């Protein structure tokens, strides 16, 4: 959705398509992608407020937790929150009372109030700097004697709700410093509510999670859940086995289809306006309209207003007003004053049948899979409430609110999971899906073998990409197309329709591109193991060798090149030809392994090839061992007194190599999924961090042992690899420290390695 900049008598547009707080605490990748297998007590799918709060509560209960986030932390719908911290359910209270009774509403308010107060206590006691303030909340009408508001007031429980009925005259007297005073004619006032900068709040909460006990993996979308004695969450790069799994995501239907229709997706719109003088007190407001508006003030004389919610499944009408213009019109009418529109954005909220969330354990999986969804417009306090309830469900503590937030309250039964029969056959070849004449506009959408695919027509060219946004599941069919760029209607993520690549945040992962060809009038899309070369040919694809086999061919070829060079320089075969070719090959491959980590960070899409890093390291250690065995045999004649004639590493560089060898061996012997599982990821990562120390020792070994050998083409190549590794590792070390505000053990450890390197270099080359 495009917002054009223009001037008006009452408002100036200088807007950008994002919330005033940015894209979230992790708009860039902060945590690694999941590779290999690991285990935990609980695995949480989703890194928004619900997932982070749940991890916090579970860790307090002594459980180990893994969070798997398909994008980056808090870049989903939590990241688009307007920061209301209210205990009032985003629901029609009079309807709730009619459906469930007055006692039910009292219990709901009590549950929300308890969660709200604990959240406030954490913010205050932990001194979380998130623009937090205690304020009043007003649920109001713009005209007196509004029948809907009166019904709502009659449904509000008097006892313990800290609420009162207020009118404009009284509230205007309480707010003498504001130009336009109080916006409502009458309202229900809820005292001791709250508001905050949601991104700062969640960033600080992530910092409260105990390291090691809670592990976070980004860009790790869960593709499949495998029930069993333990629940296994499978990603493209690895898997997590846990006793329990929490679906902390608004729409869990992709992973658990039986949850379909549990909640309905609604699009809500918001904008931020900076006023010369604030027109209203620093409280939170929402009205009784349908669709309703909600607004509050923030820093720098800013008013944040949202509303005009629309069900996502309903298509826009031709004469429908632009929602952002509707929000601007609301400001001019109800909060007049000179202002500048600085930001506009949209988010998704999920509503259940009665607008209260569902937090429960799925009955067909023995209570091992738990769900939290349908928070409507009260996601922050609702998420903390759900985190406490989920923790109690997992540790076996009976919670009195369990039935209140169960889908059974609304008579909803969760269907048993369907058993899908797998034929074992993979579809191959091109499939005719449309004709040119089918295009009445610039796109067509097709559901093909369970996959939503959108075909775009750009200047008589046709492109097919996955129809679901990789950020939050928005429909790219409904997006805006400009050239070859489609913009998701939910949060503004941009994709190249020709390649599927991400062109704009908040998405960080590409969408799938489908090979397409035009045959006469037919448009055909490829399915199955088909490459780009198959687009112009209907011949069956050839069987490919496994990637690891190609890697071994590469490793062998690299060593043969080193061998050939040493053969030429030394004038024939000799033990030293094999010894030196093995040493150069081993050192280079270990350097390649470290360099690949740097490449993965610069270009995250390449990290799917993480196994090659493992292959590089293991093969590098293999050639180092070959080098050592040859040296022992032909140089030292297996005599240790000749090897260690001196223990001074500057007189005898073999000592440096001996220090590096056991670390490299530990790396190689534990480079397997089985080792990660047995050691646990925490200890496996701890052991593998010693590789940086071993690499320092290796550098000094090969630079001091035979420095003349570096004055050659293999030597120049090795020095280049080493230089790239050192510069890259230093760059990402500093970047990580800045992101974590230098509050990490990586600071003293990294400084220690740098000081050690400088100390060794000084003694090696100047003494």
What is the average pLDDT across 441-447?
Answer: 82
- Segment 470-491, tens digit of pLDDT: 776 777 887 888 888 888 877 7
Categorize the per-residue pLDDT at 179 as very low, low, confident or very high, splitting at 50, 70 and 90. very low
Confidence of residue 305 (pLDDT cuts 50, 70, 90): very high
| Helix runs in 452-574, H state only | 547-570
pLDDT of 202 higher than 70: yes
Between CA 669 and CA 664 the distance in angstroms is: 9
Output the pLDDT for position 718: 87
Under the banding of pLDDT at 50, 70 and 90, the label for residue 645 is confident
| Distance in angstroms (rounded) separating the CA atoms of residues 41 and 51 | 15
Percent of the chain topping pLDDT 70: 85
Contacts of 320 (CB under 8 A, 6+ apart): none
Report the C-alpha gap between 278 and 298 in whole angstroms: 10
Q: Find out whether 614 and 671 touch, Cβ atoms under 8 Å.
A: yes
Q: pLDDT per residue over 364-418, tens digit each? A: 888 899 999 988 888 899 999 999 999 999 998 888 888 889 888 887 877 776 6
pTM of the entire predicted model: 0.62
545: pLDDT strictly greater than 70: no
Give the model confidence (pLDDT) of 701-738 as tens digits. Answer: 888 887 888 888 888 888 898 889 888 888 878 877 77
pLDDT at 289: 87
DSSP strands (E only) in 142-230? 163-167, 186-195, 214-217, 222-226
Question: In which band, very low, low, confident or very high, does the pLDDT at 531 lie, cut at 50, 70 and 90?
Answer: very low
Mean pLDDT of the 459-467 span: 86
Q: What is the mean pLDDT of residues 752-757?
A: 84
pLDDT beyond 90 at 123: yes
Buried b (16+ CB within 10 A) or exposed e, 419-440: eeeeeeeeeeebbebbeeeeee
**pLDDT over 90, % of the chain:** 22
Using pLDDT thresholds of 50, 70 and 90, give the confidence band for residue 543.
Answer: very low
Instruction: Report pLDDT for 765.
Output: 66
pLDDT in tens, 649-679: 888 888 998 999 999 999 888 887 677 656 7
Looking at residues 450-465, what average pLDDT do you find?
85
d(CA 728, CA 495): 29
């Amino acid at each position: 959705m495009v917002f054009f900049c223009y001037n008006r008598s009452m408002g100036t547009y200088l807007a950008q398509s994002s919330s005033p707080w940015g894209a979230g605490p992790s708009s860039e990748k902060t945590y690694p992608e999941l590779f290999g297998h690991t285990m935990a007590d609980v695995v949480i799918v989703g890194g928004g407020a619900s997932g982070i709060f749940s991890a916090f509560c579970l860790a307090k209960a002594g459980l180990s937790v893994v969070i798997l986030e398909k994008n980056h932390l808090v870049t989903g719908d939590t990241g688009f929150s307007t920061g209301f911290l209210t205990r009032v359910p985003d629901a029609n209270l009079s309807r709730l009372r009619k459906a469930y009774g007055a006692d039910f509403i009292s219990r709901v308010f009590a549950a929300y109030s308890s969660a709200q107060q604990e959240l406030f206590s954490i913010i205050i006691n932990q001194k979380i700097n998130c623009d937090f303030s205690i304020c009043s909340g007003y649920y109001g009408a713009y005209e007196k004697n509004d029948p809907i508001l009166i019904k709502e007031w009659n449904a509000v429980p008097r006892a313990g709700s800290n609420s009162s009925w207020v009118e404009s005259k009284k509230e205007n007297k309480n707010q003498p410093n504001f130009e336009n005073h109080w916006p409502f004619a009458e309202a229900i006032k809820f005292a001791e509510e709250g508001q905050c900068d949601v991104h700062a709040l969640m960033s600080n909460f992530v910092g409260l999670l105990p390291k090691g006990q809670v592990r976070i993996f980004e860009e790790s979308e869960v593709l499949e859940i495998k029930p069993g004695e333990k629940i296994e969450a499978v990603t493209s790069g690895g898997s997590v086995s846990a006793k329990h799994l929490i679906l902390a995501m608004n729409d869990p239907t992709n992973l658990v289809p039986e949850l379909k229709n549990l909640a309905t997706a609604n699009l809500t719109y918001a904008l931020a306006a900076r006023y010369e003088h604030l027109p209203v007190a620093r409280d939170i407001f929402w009205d009784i309209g349908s669709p309703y508006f909600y607004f509050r003030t923030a820093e720098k004389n800013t008013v944040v207003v949202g509303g005009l919610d629309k069900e996502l499944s309903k298509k826009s009408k031709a004469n429908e007003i632009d929602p952002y213009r509707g929000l601007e019109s609301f400001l001019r009418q109800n909060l007049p004053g000179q202002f500048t529109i600085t930001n506009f954005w949209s988010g998704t909220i999920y509503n259940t049948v009665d607008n209260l969330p569902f937090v429960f354990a799925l009955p067909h999986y023995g209570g091992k899979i738990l769900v939290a969804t349908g928070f409507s417009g009260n996601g922050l306090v609702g998420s903390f409430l759900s985190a406490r309830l989920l923790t109690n469900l997992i540790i076996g503590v009976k919670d009195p609110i369990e039935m209140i937030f169960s889908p059974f309250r609304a008579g909803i039964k969760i269907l048993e999971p369907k058993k899908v029969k797998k034929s074992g056959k993979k579809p191959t070849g091109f499939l005719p899906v449309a004709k040119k004449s089918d295009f009445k506009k610039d796109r067509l959408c097709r559901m093909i073998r369970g996959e939503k695919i959108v075909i775009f027509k750009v200047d008589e060219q046709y492109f097919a990409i996955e129809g679901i946004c990789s950020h939050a599941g928005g429909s790219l069919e409904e997006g805006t197309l400009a050239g070859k760029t489609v913009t998701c209607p939910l949060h503004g993520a941009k994709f190249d329709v020709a390649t599927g690549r991400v062109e704009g945040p908040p998405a960080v992962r590409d969408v799938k591109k489908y090979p397409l060809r035009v045959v006469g009038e037919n448009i055909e899309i490829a399915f199955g193991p088909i490459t780009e070369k198959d687009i112009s040919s209907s011949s069956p694809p050839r069987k490919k060798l496994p990637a690891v086999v190609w890697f071994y061919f590469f490793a062998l070829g690299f060593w043969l090149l080193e061998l050939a060079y040493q053969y030429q320089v030394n004038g024939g075969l000799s033990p030293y030809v094999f010894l030196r070719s093995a040493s150069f090959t081993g050192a280079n491959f270990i350097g390649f392994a470290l360099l690949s980590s740097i490449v993965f960070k610069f270009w995250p899409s390449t990290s799917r090839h993480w196994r090659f890093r493992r292959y590089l390291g293991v093969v590098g250690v293999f050639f180092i061992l070959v080098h050592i065995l040859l040296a022992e045999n032909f140089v030292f004649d297996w005599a240790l007194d000749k090897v260690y004639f001196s223990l001074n590493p500057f007189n005898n560089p073999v000592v440096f190599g001996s220090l590096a060898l056991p670390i490299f061996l530990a790396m190689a012997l534990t480079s397997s999924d089985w080792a990660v599982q047995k050691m646990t990821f925490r200890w496996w990562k701890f052991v593998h961090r010693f590789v940086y120390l071993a690499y320092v020792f290796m550098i000094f070994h090969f630079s001091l042992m035979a420095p003349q050998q570096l004055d050659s083409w293999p030597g120049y190549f090795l020095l280049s690899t080493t230089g790239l590794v050192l510069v890259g590792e230093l760059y990402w070390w500093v970047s990580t420290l800045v992101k974590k505000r230098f509050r990490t053990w990586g600071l003293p450890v990294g400084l220690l390695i740098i000081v050690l390197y400088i100390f060794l270099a000084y003694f090696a080359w100047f003494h």
